[in-house]
Amino acid sequence: MTRSLVTGAAGFVGRRLVAELLARGDHVIAVDRFSRFDPEDVDWTEPTGHVDLNEQKSPPRSVGLPERLSLVRTDIRDTNAIAGVLTGVDRIFHSAAAVSTQSLALSRSINVDATEGIAKAAALQPTPPVFVYLSSLAAAGPHHAAVNEMDDCHPVSHYGRTKLEAESRLHDLAGELPITIIRPPCVIGPGDRNLLALYQTVRLGWNLVLSKTARYSYISVVDLVPALLVASERGRRLQGLNEAGRIDQDRVGIYYLTDPKPVTFVQLADMIASTIQKDRVRHVRVPKTIGWMIGGYGEVLLRVLGRRVFLNLDKIREGVGGSWVCDGTRAAKELSFAPAADLSTRIEQTTQSYRQAGWV
């Protein structure tokens, strides 16, 4: 029986990944703080995890844990706790990350230092497991054309910089641990809450955007998770640094997983509108100055009050950066990856999951 460890198991991608691994017969070690819900209230065999984070609704009925699922309740910065359960693990999916925190130092401790610590602990195992790192397109930054794995990276946000720094630390360990890096763009799909704010404004007939022409790549969690498993099984691994201490020019072992057709926020909002039977949406471009003001307000809520926010200064930096489009050619060639359905179908599936959860 294959033993797989998943960090960030309580997250949107993590829950679906755990369900996929259990369905394939793995013994799964799920690592998370589990601060948002009781893991025994989650049906881990279902792709969406059937966890309701809406506080206005009654908590779900306790369903218990599958026999092949083990829980490790810990902060990923406690690498000693994670190292203690690595014996016999065949593969690690490191999906835990901090998108927005109260300080850059905190982001770095979670996204960089914890990633390096877990990877070093894995490298010390008698048979080091495959290490699949879920990075982000944010590590590359916006580009004027679709970015591929060989392009230089120019992140514009703290999140992107810490993701790229974590990748650099992993390159240092490439000779000791089989590592593959996945850089998805924005991940959507059933159970995702990140698009909920857009759904709510579209339902009111409005779509407020910083740009009507910038294009964005997306991928559904439905397509991402199976591809992560393929990457663990037959993806290429990072190469060690060359004699000059630099990463190889081809950046072997890095993949962009994406829907092949990027869209603007106008097109995305129109897709959403068609699934909720909204006939007309007014697309309004918000001046950048207003965007920075909104981001500043979110920054205050985040740093001073510790509130979770969707928009802060980091997100505005990304929003005004231009287009965020990646090229999935390498993944198509080396992993035989292609989304099983187009983006409009994935938006429809997201809408259905929102209705089932009572969110729209």
pLDDT tens for 265-313 read: 999 999 999 999 998 999 999 998 988 888 888 888 877 766 777 777 8
Asked if residue 153 belongs to a domain, the reply is: yes
Q: What is the span of the domain harbouring residue 113?
A: 3-189+218-258
Give the Cα separation of 357 and 360 in Å (integer): 8
Asked if residue 80 belongs to a domain, the reply is: yes
pLDDT at residue 261, rounded to an integer? 96
Residue 47 scores a pLDDT above 80: no
**How does pLDDT run across 308-360, given as a tens digit for each residue?**
777 778 888 888 889 999 999 999 999 999 999 999 999 999 999 999 888 88
- CB-CB neighbours of 36 under 10 Å: 11
Asked if residue 13 belongs to a domain, the reply is: yes
pLDDT at residue 7, rounded to an integer? 97
Q: Which of the four pLDDT bands, split at 50, 70 and 90, describes residue 56?
A: very low
**Residues of the chain above pLDDT 90, percent:** 69
Q: Higher confidence at residue 332 or residue 41?
A: 332
Asked if residue 284 belongs to a domain, the reply is: no
- Residue 286: which region, alpha, beta or left (left: phi > 0; alpha: psi -120 to 50)? beta
Residue 134 scores a pLDDT above 80: yes
pLDDT at residue 104, rounded to an integer? 85
Total domains in the chain come to 1
DSSP annotation of 107 reads H
Cα 354 to Cα 30, 185, 186, 195: the distances in Å are 25, 21, 18, 10
Q: Which of the four pLDDT bands, split at 50, 70 and 90, describes residue 264?
A: very high
Asked if residue 114 belongs to a domain, the reply is: yes
CATH no. for residue 81? 3.40.50.720
- CB-CB neighbours of 144 under 10 Å: 8
Among the ranges given (99-108, 206-215, 226-235, 318-327), the one the predictor scored with the smallest mean pLDDT: 99-108
Q: From 209, 201, 139, select the one nearest 167 (Cα to Cα).
A: 139
Q: Which of the four pLDDT bands, split at 50, 70 and 90, describes residue 35?
A: confident
Q: Report the pLDDT averaged over residues 78-96.
A: 96
51-55, 106-110, 253-257 — which one is most confidently predicted on average? 253-257
Asked if residue 277 belongs to a domain, the reply is: no
Asked if residue 348 belongs to a domain, the reply is: no
Asked if residue 330 belongs to a domain, the reply is: no
Residue 245 scores a pLDDT above 80: no
Residue 60 scores a pLDDT above 80: no
- Residues 269-274: contacts with CB within 8 Å, 24+ apart? 269/198, 269/202, 269/207, 269/209, 271/343, 271/344, 271/347, 272/195, 272/198, 272/199, 272/202, 272/347, 272/351, 273/202, 274/344
